[in-house]
Chain A
Amino acid sequence: MSRTPIVRVEEVHKFFVRGSEQVDVLNGLNLTVPEGEFLALMGPSGSGKTTLLNLIAGLDRPTTGEVWVGRELVSKMNETQLARWRTRHVGFIFQFYHLLGVLSAFENVEMPLLLLPLSAAERRRRVTTALELVGLKNRMRHRPGQLSGGQQQRVGIARAIVTDPTLIVADEPTGDLDARSAEEILDLLEELQASLDKTIILVTHDARAAERAHRVLHLDKGRLASEERRTASLARSASEGA
């Protein structure tokens, strides 16, 4: 069954200028991500996977080419449009969680909702639901410093899903966690993808994390080097085997 593409990357080039030198990061890359897919991007350092993730998430703009998310041409938006678009359509999960240390778990998760026209009661309802989904309802009042790494990442995931975004992007979400916590986070992402039918794009160096994805793309020198398609059941059994 083919599903509607939610992300389309068309002939994208991205280069940076470092001193007098031009560094090509992405070279005419094309990519389509169907709605509800769990996609993993892998590749060596400098292969362009994080840059590609940033372009899809609207954190950066390509030098040439187009990036579409849903019906929006993200690559042509200005900074203000991108910020507004990100609030509603993209949930971010960071390697180092990047929670605000002065705020409680509840307040951290509430942050993106402050930018939306929601009542306090509605914000509270959404935050509580998101924290419940990640299993941290009983840790709402704790600050990041009072939580373990795995728990902090769960708060980060709750913050990413609280706006009910079109797309969840995760940059090495298990890179700073021990093996057990990493497994728990991957289980959680998988569950969220299955239960909420969210599109997840995951950048990782970790083969075990990539095994959870429906599809794994390998990048090398800014190009798509290979593609590995896994069925949902295969991905699940891989995770169970692990």
Chain B
Amino acid sequence: MKFVFLILKNLRRNLLRTVLTALGTVVLVFVVTLVWSVLSFLDDVTSEKSTNLKAIVTERWQIPSQMPFAYAATLADGAARKSGDVHPIDSMTWQFFGGTLDPKSRTRENLVFAIAMQPRKMITMMDELDRLTGDDAAEMERILRLMESNRRGIVIGRERLAAIDKRVGERIVLHGLNYKDINLEFDIVGTFSVPRYDQTAVMNREYLNEALDEYARTHRGEKHPMVQKTLNLVWVRVPDQQSYSRVAEQIMSSPYYSMPAVKVETESSGVSAFLESYRDLIWGMRWLLSPAILVTLSLIISNAISISVRERRLEMAVLKVLGFLPRHIMLLVLGEAVLVGTLAGLASATGTYYVVNDCLGGLKFPIAFFPAFFIPRAAIGWGLTIGLTTSLLGSIVPAWGARTVRVSDVFAKVA
């Protein structure tokens, strides 16, 4: 306890240096926390799960995937044809409808990108919406009922809603961008409580399909050019890897899906494939930026502690004369560095967690289709560990120097 007291006294000796070292640590831990939050999220979504995994069925040879809606029913059932075939636990279909509020002046602010699907699948198949509880779950249930009773109902993420300057309860018309001449009128029935979908919208798929049917009626029987290409993705949920392999085999061997052919992949490998274009950026963040920051942090601490040790060689010699062992001296020096590093790291990560998540609504780093990243609670532990490890590494050399101070040499110089 007295040693800690002595360490604190020593840190107060040059308060400006201590504060600057702590500030340097805070800033660098802040940056590492942001970078690692993004990497950790991407690692999580691209790591293969062993149970309760989702598979994505898409068109095999083309991006973006555009399959006929006729595939939907059988794919949703995992293309099970005979007894003994595996049926997925659940499934959902995604049809993408992009529209603008103002066809004469298309801007980023008046665009809405909606996923057309069965509304109730939101709470069974969509990440995070499938884990809502309490008031959020009740609000989602209310929205679903409205969308089921009113096919024009649309739910829009908070940020997108703010961008188009609309509110829940208002009515909007979206002029189709990927579906030419399909203009849809919507009633905004709610918004998502999950920040992940802040830029997303979900509509009832029946409304889109009816609009395409209506197109033929109003165009002398001529079908809409997109009518055979409306199904973009099919998601199926299976209990384990074995079931996934069986379902994948069932779909791939099915004669139904030849024009166009389809492919099946797990959600994680699908996301990985999507992230392939960001590969260099992610590699740089992981293997260049993060290590560079950690090394810089160690050097900052090492420099501050080295100066401190150099200034106090005589004092350390006096401590040795009084009977302090070399390891006591080393512990005092390491203790100073570790205390500053650990506390600054912990404070930085904790501050980052609350500021980014609660005040800023996530880190707006548009990579792939993820609009914002959130700092995981584990980041508080990262900050503590980074601070502790880098300060320890940075102070080992100066602490060793302090440990090996020769009493007689120091006093000889004084005399």
**Residue positions of A touching B, CB distance < 8 A:** 50, 54, 57, 59-60, 79-80, 83-84, 86-88, 92, 94, 96, 98, 100-103, 107, 111-112, 114-115, 159, 171
Interface size bucket, B side? 20 to 34
Per-position binary interface string of chain B over residues 314-354, scored 1 when its CB falls under 8 Å from any chain A CB and 0 otherwise: 11001111111110100000000000000000000000000
Can you report 18 A-B residue pairs in the complex whose CB atoms are below 8 A from each other? A50-B415, A54-B407, A59-B411, A80-B326, A83-B323, A83-B324, A83-B326, A86-B321, A87-B322, A87-B323, A98-B318, A102-B12, A107-B9, A111-B319, A114-B3, A115-B322, A115-B328, A171-B411
Measured between C-beta atoms, what is the minimum distance from A85 to chain B in Å? 8
**Residue positions of B touching A, CB distance < 8 A:** 2-3, 6, 9-10, 12-13, 314-315, 318-326, 328, 407-408, 411, 414-415
A112 touches B322 (CB 8 A): yes
Contacts of B325 in A (CB 8 A): 80, 83-84
Select from chain B the residue with minimum beta-carbon distance to A85.
Answer: B323
Contacts of B411 in A (CB 8 A): 50, 54, 59, 171
Q: How far is the CA of A88 from the CA of B217 in the complex (A)?
A: 105
The contact of B9 among A59, A79, A103, A112, by CB within 8 Å, is A103
A100 touches B323 (CB 8 A): no
A111 touches B408 (CB 8 A): no
Q: How far is the CA of A114 from the CA of B4 in the complex (A)?
A: 12
The contact of A98 among B12, B314, B324, B328, by CB within 8 Å, is B314
The contact of A86 among B10, B12, B322, B415, by CB within 8 Å, is B322
Contacts of A83 in B (CB 8 A): 320, 323-326
Q: How far is the CA of A98 from the CA of B326 in the complex (A)?
A: 19
Given A54-B411, A59-B411, 10 further pairs, Cβ under 8 A: A79-B326, A80-B326, A83-B324, A87-B323, A98-B315, A100-B315, A102-B9, A103-B9, A111-B319, A112-B322
Contacts of A115 in B (CB 8 A): 322-324, 328
Interface of B, secondary structure class, is helix
- B3, B13, B319 interface centre (most CB from chain A within 10 Å): B319
The contact of A112 among B323, B408, B414, B415, by CB within 8 Å, is B323
Question: Given contacts A86-B323, A87-B323, are A102 and B318 in contact (CB under 8 A)?
Answer: no
Q: How far is the CA of A79 from the CA of B325 in the complex (A)?
A: 8
Contacts of B328 in A (CB 8 A): 115
Contacts of A98 in B (CB 8 A): 314-315, 318
Select from chain B the residue with minimum beta-carbon distance to A169.
Answer: B321
The contact of A114 among B2, B321, B414, by CB within 8 Å, is B2
A102 touches B322 (CB 8 A): no
Q: How far is the CA of A86 from the CA of B317 in the complex (A)?
A: 13
Measured between C-beta atoms, what is the minimum distance from A220 to chain B in Å? 18
- A57, A83, A87, A115 interface centre (most CB from chain B within 10 Å): A83
A92 touches B408 (CB 8 A): no
Measured between C-beta atoms, what is the minimum distance from A27 to chain B in Å? 18
Contacts of B415 in A (CB 8 A): 50
Measured between C-beta atoms, what is the minimum distance from A94 to chain B in Å? 8
Contacts of A171 in B (CB 8 A): 411
B323 touches A102 (CB 8 A): no
B9 touches A92 (CB 8 A): no
Measured between C-beta atoms, what is the minimum distance from B402 to chain A in Å? 14
B321 touches A92 (CB 8 A): yes
Measured between C-beta atoms, what is the minimum distance from B9 to chain A in Å? 4
Task: Give the top 3 A-B pairs by smallest Cβ distance, nearest first.
Answer: A87-B323, A98-B318, A102-B9
Select from chain A the residue with minimum beta-carbon distance to B3.
Answer: A114
